[in-house]
Structures are given as structure tokens and as C-alpha cells.
Amino acid sequence: MKNRLIRLVALAAGLTIAVTGCSLDSASNSSGNVVNVVIGYQSKTINTVTAGTLLKAQGYLERRLSDITTRTGTKYNVTWQDYDTGAPITAQMVAEKIDIGSMGDYPMLINGSKTQANPLARTEMVSVTGYNPKGALNMVVVAPNSPATGLGDLAGKKVSASVGSAGHGTLVRALDRAGIGLSSVEVLNQQPQVGASALESGQVQALSQFVAWPGLLVYQGKAKLLYDGAELNVPTLHGVVVRRSYAAAHPEVLAAFLQAQLDATDFLNNKPLEAARIVAESSGLPQEVVYLYNGPGGTSFDTTLKPSLVTALKNDVPYLKSIGDFADLDVGGFVQDEPLRAVFGARGLDYEAARARAANPSVLSGEPALASELWLDGSDATQTLANPTSLLQAVRDATARGAKVRAAYVPDSELGTRWFADKAVWVRDGGDYRPFATVAGAHRYAAAHPGSVSVNYQEALGGSL
């Protein structure tokens, strides 16, 4: 392991060294002086964009590999394969047809479990793409006209979820915590887009999924948020897995990939609105939805493998075993940060300090729990407001002068989840207006604050004087 780390550091730093003690790659992955790199990603799972959609669109990996070609003469052929969920990426890695993949936490664990029996397919987790410390990446939505205001209202109803996904795991845990159990609902195992259609047609009464599906359906007016995974207060994450045999044969490719992922992460955190535009154009998602999650105060885009995230992965194992799709996996051995440490060192960065940071690398100025954001149509910049009440006034002023609001974002007053201002449930408490992503959250606040009143968005705008 020590020799591998030294070798990765050298390669990441752009040094040419002799290759010794390294197994040759299979013929399927190399031909003559050309090395094939096959990457599985999910263009619409926008918390993996720094290892997928944005990374691909910006060409960061190809440029890193081109630098290696200049030094060594070895050429690299990169193939990108787009999927809706992590399951087919895992199937292709089991078949040794994908070398590097990105997916959510539960799918990553299933990936490690399913690939471990085959030395050529066996994978390890080498980086995080994005995470939420409370679990706000996964949500349950219902139809816009649904009378449901809490999970208990789903008893006896049909719920669409991708079994084995992070969205399904959130549903299982949420129902258990609510004291009603998974047996109280009928879960239909469906791909996200199939479930979205089923919800719209009334074939199911709720949908539990990962980003960007809940936000997309709410933005389109096809759903309303019933349950925010942040209520569980359990970290959720997305990350990168690589086949160990491939990484051993081509450590310079893994180093280049992680370097490129850092390039994409820096770009997204420094230019979130531009990054959202690029991701939207590449994925077909509305930029407003991409920016909901990829904008300041949304997903934490941080590559480091934090102890809290590794612990969360270990705590996910009982759920995976409960659905019968999981063989024992040594999570501690599956998670390997040596390659990422090497890349950090090559860039002169302090990995330990970065791993210890808990704050979101991209936040709005001011108090994170209150700062809100207004995006006017025709503008290539957004405006930061100190709090949701100030945002309402800014929207009111902009509308009065004939400007059109493209999107407005506020933090949930209870959980901190970044959400659409016009889709939030508002509570007036004296002169303050407090947004909540769910009806249940607004009810909890109102019950604890006598005199506060629930209002809709238009009423909140009218009162924000």
C-alpha cells in the first residue's frame, strides 16, 4: 500500500517513474499504446456532477490524460456511459465493462458488495462528490392536490421508489421513525422517470427519490413536498468507486480522474451559477432546479472522505441487509482515501484539514440559516438577501418595477434545506415570515409559537412591507 501511495503521489504530481510490481491490464481495457477508460455516470443525478456531467462537459479528465500522453506517449480513450441510477453501473462493473463510476451511498455499498467476489471486478470507494449532513438529498413527494400532510397519511397507499436506492432507504427509515413501518405502504419498484409518470397519472400516491427528481417535479408543478429527508438528521452522500484491478494497472488514470474531479469541484464552488448552466445544458434539467441543489447552501461539494460519512455508510448496512440485496462488506476496507490524499499532496493541499471541515464550501454571504437568494430573469447574477423576509420584499419590489423572477431560494426555517420560495409553506410570526419546505414543518413551528399564522406565498408577498 505504501509503494502504491508513493507511486500515486508521483503520478499525480506529473512525474514519470518506472512501473514495477503492477499487473498488466486486460485486453479489453487496453490496446497497443492506447488505454481505454470507461466511466459510468448519471447525468440527472446532479450531486454526482463533479465526477460526471460537469466533469465531462468541461473536459477536465481528457486534459489531465493529455498531459500524461505528452509526457509518456501513452494515449487514452475515454468513454462516458450515462445511466438513470447506480444499479446498471454496478452491473457493468461486475461485468468488468466500466472502470470508474459515481452513485449514491446505498448503491455504492451494493456495488462494493456485489463486486467483491471477483478480483477483477472488486471496487473501492475513493472520493465523495456531494453530501448533505442531515440527509436533505432524498425526499418524498405527493401529487399537488394530495390531502396528505405527513407520512402517516400514506398508510395503505402506493409509493414509487427505486428499491436499493438512497430514496428507498430514506422511505424505509422515515416510516420506521414515524412508527408506521414499511408494511403500511405498498412500494412499487420503479425507475425515477417511471415513478414520476406514475405519480402524475395517479397510479401511485407518493414518490420517494433522490435528487434531482423531487425538486424537478415540484418545480414543474407536478408534485409537492411531503417529507424532507433532513428530518432523519443522517448524512447522505454520493461518491466515486473504481475497480481495484483497473486502478492497480493504471494508477495514473485514477490520479488524473481525482485531479479532474477537484478541478470540477473548484469550478462549481467558485462559479455555481455558471456550473448550473453547464449541467443544465448537458443534462436537460432546468437550470433553476440544478441551481437549487448545486447553488450556495445546497449540496456540500467536498471530495474528502469524512469520518462522519464513513460512519453513515456503516449505519446503512442494516437497511441493505433488510431488503435481501447485500452480502457482508468490510466498509472500512471498501473506503480508501490514499489515492485522494496523494492528489491533495501533489496540489500542495492539506487533506486532513479539508477532511475536518464541516461547513459547506459554497454558502451565501451572511447567516447561512437565513441568507436567501433572488435570481431575476435576464440576469447572469443573483442577489443575496439577509433573510427570507427581506427576500419577499425584494421580490415585491422587483415585480413592481416590471422585472420577472426566474427563481428565488430560501432555507427551511427548521431544517435548513435550500428550497424554492414560491413552493415553500410560509408562517407569519409577528413581522417575520418563515419558510418551510413541508406542511408538517410549518405546523410544528406554529404549534410551538402561539400567534403565528400559516400563509401562502402570495399572502407572504403582500404582507412583506
Q: What is the pLDDT of residues 74-122, one digit of tens each?
A: 999 999 999 988 999 999 999 999 999 999 999 999 999 999 999 999 9
Domain at 166, CATH number: 3.40.190.10
User: What dihedral angle (degrees, nearest 10) is formed by the CA atoms of 166, 170, 176, 177?
Assistant: 140
Judge if 322 and 392 occupy the same domain. no
* CA separation for the pair 49, 261 (Å, rounded): 9
Q: What is the pTM assigned to this prediction?
A: 0.91
Give domain status of residue 400, yes or no.
yes
Cell of residue 279, nine digits: 449541467
pLDDT tens digits, residue range 115-170? 999 999 999 999 999 999 999 989 999 999 999 999 999 999 999 999 888 899 99
- The residue from 202, 232, 262 where one domain ends is 232
Quick check: 411 and 369 in contact, CB under 8 A? yes
pLDDT at 409: 98
* CA separation for the pair 163, 165 (Å, rounded): 6
Judge if 246 and 346 occupy the same domain. yes
Cell of residue 464, nine digits: 412583506
Cell of residue 261, nine digits: 474531479
Quick check: 168 and 161 in contact, CB under 8 A? yes
- C-alpha 171, offset from chain centre: 17
Task: Look up residue 252 and give its amino acid.
Answer: E
Judge if 156 and 31 occupy the same domain. no
Contacts of 402 (CB under 8 A, 6+ apart): none
Domain at 439, CATH number: 3.30.450.410
Judge if 260 and 302 occupy the same domain. yes
Q: Sign of the CA dihedral 362, 366, 368, 371?
A: negative
> C-alpha distances in angstroms, 445 versus 99, 426, 436, 457?
48, 10, 9, 17
* CA separation for the pair 283, 290 (Å, rounded): 10
Judge if 126 and 146 occupy the same domain. no
323: containing domain: 2-133+236-356
Please classify residue 57 by burial: count the beta carbons closer than 10 Å to its beta carbon, then call 0-12 exposed, 13-18 middle and 19+ buried: middle
Judge if 146 and 219 occupy the same domain. yes
Judge if 71 and 51 occupy the same domain. yes
Give domain status of residue 363, yes or no.
no
Estimate the crossing angle of helix 87-94 against helix 105-115, to 10 degrees. Answer: 20
pLDDT at 33: 84
Quick check: 9 and 342 in contact, CB under 8 A? yes
Judge if 397 and 444 occupy the same domain. yes
Judge if 48 and 114 occupy the same domain. yes
pLDDT at 324: 78
The number of domains in the chain is 3
Give domain status of residue 365, yes or no.
no
Name the stretches of the chain with pLDDT < 70.
Answer: 1-32, 325, 464-465
pLDDT at 464: 54
Write the Ramachandran bin of 93: left for phi over 0, alpha for psi from -120 to 50, otherwise beta.
alpha
Give domain status of residue 36, yes or no.
yes
pLDDT at 5: 43
Give domain status of residue 366, yes or no.
no
Judge if 404 and 259 occupy the same domain. no
First-last CA distance in the chain: 63
